[in-house]
Structure 1
Amino acid sequence: MKFEIQSITAQETLPLRQKALWPGHLIEQSMVDGDETALHFGGYLDRKLVCVASLFHEPPGIRLRKFATDPAFQGQGFGSQMLRQLLHEAQATGAKTFWFDARESALPFYQRNGYTPDGERFFKADIPYRRIVRALT
């Protein structure tokens, strides 16, 4: 099986965002401000979209948002491959930092990939999050 990462449209991210991050919500609720100008990536396993992520320019950094892997394909390394590619993409923009808000439930994944939380816990829609920031310079 071959896993490939490529640029996709914001619209192409929505079904997987909804399935993995907000099941039970309307697909429109998976859209975020700035989607129209963000960089969107899809990870395909034998032409099936199994992972999506979006990068938003928020000077002086690049912000990762809506990073989702199909639950049926989690734990197989696809998210880690995507995360490495996203870091490379962020570095290529010349941004000074790469940052994102991670659900606390996903912290073990990010820590296995070399990321550590920065700051205190906060909540979005009753879900606990931690900010992660990585210098790119």
Structure 2
Amino acid sequence: MEAVVEQIFPSLTWRIRHIAMYPDQPYDFVKLENDFEGTHFGLYLNHELTGVVSLFVEGTVGQFRKLAILPEAQGHGLGKQLMEYLIDYCQVQNLTKLWCNARVNAKEFYLKFGFVATDKTYTAAGYDFVIMEKEF
């Protein structure tokens, strides 16, 4: 699959987040308070926005949130391509650490990229999460 990753405007992430992550919640549920302070990336497959991820940086530490691929496009390596792009971007920006609140059922996915699960876990919106980190 030929996909391209580009920086996108924050509001473009909302539709993908809603469909892929929280289809049963109201649309506004997927909007983050600080969306307009972050850097957002969109993965375009055949010129259609198919995946998104949002990065928020404090100092030299980045947190990515809301990595989402449309359900019909999952399982084809698009999430992997988006993560590799994000990690490369963070390294170019000289970040020292990247972390996320990973859904427990996605933990194995993040382990493949060198993330380590911490002992910090919680439950929100009906999902179990674990905080995962990657040092650069």
Instruction: Flag the 1:14–1:55 CA change in 2: closer, same or farther, 3 A.
Output: same
Aligned 8 A contact 2:60 2:94 in 1? no
C-alpha deviations, 1:63-106, integer Å up to 9, x for none? Answer: 00011011111110000010011011112222211110100111
Give 1:119 deviation, angstroms: 1.5
AA matched with 1:82: L
Give 1:55 deviation, angstroms: 0.3
Give 1:9 deviation, angstroms: 0.7
Structure 1 stretches of 4+ with a deviation exceeding 3 A read none
RMSD of aligned residue pairs (Cα, Å): 1.3
Unaligned runs of 5+ in 2: none
Q: TM-score, normalised by structure 1?
A: 0.92
- C-alpha distance in 1 between matches for 2:37 and 2:69: 22
Please say if 1:101 is aligned against 2:86: no
Please say if 1:22 is aligned against 2:25: no
AA matched with 2:5: I
2:86 counterpart residue number = 86
- C-alpha distance in 2 between matches for 1:33 and 1:97: 22
- Of stretches 126-135 and 87-96 in structure 1, the one that deviates more from structure 2 is 87-96
> When the two structures are aligned, how many residues end up with a matched partner?
136
Give 1:116 deviation, angstroms: 2.8
AA matched with 1:109: F
Equivalent residues in 2 for 1:15-94, closer than 5 Å: 15-94=15-94
AA matched with 1:127: Y
Instruction: Flag the 1:107–1:23 CA change in 2: closer, same or farther, 3 A.
Output: same
Equivalent residues in 2 for 1:112-123, closer than 5 Å: 112-123=112-123
Unaligned runs of 5+ in 1: none
